[in-house]
Amino acid sequence: MEKGWVRESKSPCVMPMIIVPKKDKSWRMCMNYHLINAIIVRYRHPIPYLDDLLDELHGACIFSKIDMQSGYHHICMRESDEWKTAFKTKFGLYEWLVMPFRLTNVPSMFMRLMNHVLRNLIGCCTVIYFDDILVYYECLDDHVRHVHQVLQFLKGKSLYEVIYLGFFVDSQVNYVDKEKVKAIKSWPTFRSVSECAKFPWGLDGKNPKRNPSRPLRKGHPMPPC
């Protein structure tokens, strides 16, 4: 409430709330909006493919990563719609004044906002995936100028607050962050076809697009168990 993100509510619509840990050991509030999500009309803004983003970085050798803190909370809820986001706690009933996590259309709306704010830099020195911004280039002087431009664009829209999308990136090849494959290396031996299908094929240390064991897609044969 101190940040102006939520307020007390008298909404007839109440959703459960849980607290989940984040990478930095802080906590994130998550609501179970599956009932209201089922009746919301979907807004389908195009989401970029990860392979396309990584291909765009080929040849670059200087990178700066900007992670939008509390990214979704930079977008306000439409007035008169706040009651639809109400959630319960042991202290009472509250509703969101900004976009909450787990509400459908929020990722697409945020992606649309970021594409609009940084549209002049996308494709030449910047790639965006939701609240992850990566500025890249070959020349240090130009890179510094591009980073400054990105920050100015974000500041102009009041969006104040390198590993990119779980990949280590250099000018030659992309590798998955070792922290993300630690659990895969200790994955138990398959005992059935269904367990084999659940394995995240392709995340074995390199970009799955450049690896023969890239993730399964509909219609692709299953690797042998």
Domain residue extents for the chain:
6-169
Supply the pLDDT for residue 225. Answer: 46
Question: Which tens digit of pLDDT belongs to each residue from 154-164?
Answer: 888 766 544 44
Supply the pLDDT for residue 222. Answer: 47
Low-confidence ranges of the chain (pLDDT < 50): 161-169, 171, 203-223, 225
Query: Which tokens is 214 given?
Result: 């890239």
Say which residue the tokens 């104040």 belong to: 160
The closest of 77, 116, 131, 125 to 100, measured between CA atoms, is 77
Supply the pLDDT for residue 97. Answer: 93
DSSP run (H or E) holding 117: helix 106-117
The alpha carbon of 154 is separated from its chain's Cα centroid by a whole number of angstroms, namely 17
Supply the pLDDT for residue 178. Answer: 62
Sign of CA dihedral 139, 145, 146, 148: positive
Phi then psi dihedrals of residue 106, to 5 deg? -65, -45
The greatest distance separating any two alpha carbons of the chain, rounded to the nearest whole angstrom, comes to 57
CATH number of 6-169: 3.30.70.270
Q: What is the per-residue burial (b if ≥16 Cβ within 10 Å, else e) of 199-218? A: bebbbeebbbeeeeebebee
The closest of 202, 204, 196 to 215, measured between CA atoms, is 202
Q: Give the predicted TM-score (pTM) of the model.
A: 0.60
Inter-residue contact 15 to 31 (CB < 8 Å): yes
Query: Which tokens is 103 given?
Result: 């509400």
DSSP run (H or E) holding 184: helix 178-185
Measured CA to CA in angstroms, residue 199 lies from 66, 106, 168, 195, 210 at distances of: 31, 28, 22, 7, 18
Supply the pLDDT for residue 212. Answer: 42
Question: Which tens digit of pLDDT belongs to each residue from 7-39?
Answer: 999 999 888 888 888 777 888 888 888 888 898
Rounded CA-CA distance 178/166 in Å is: 9
Inter-residue contact 84 to 20 (CB < 8 Å): no
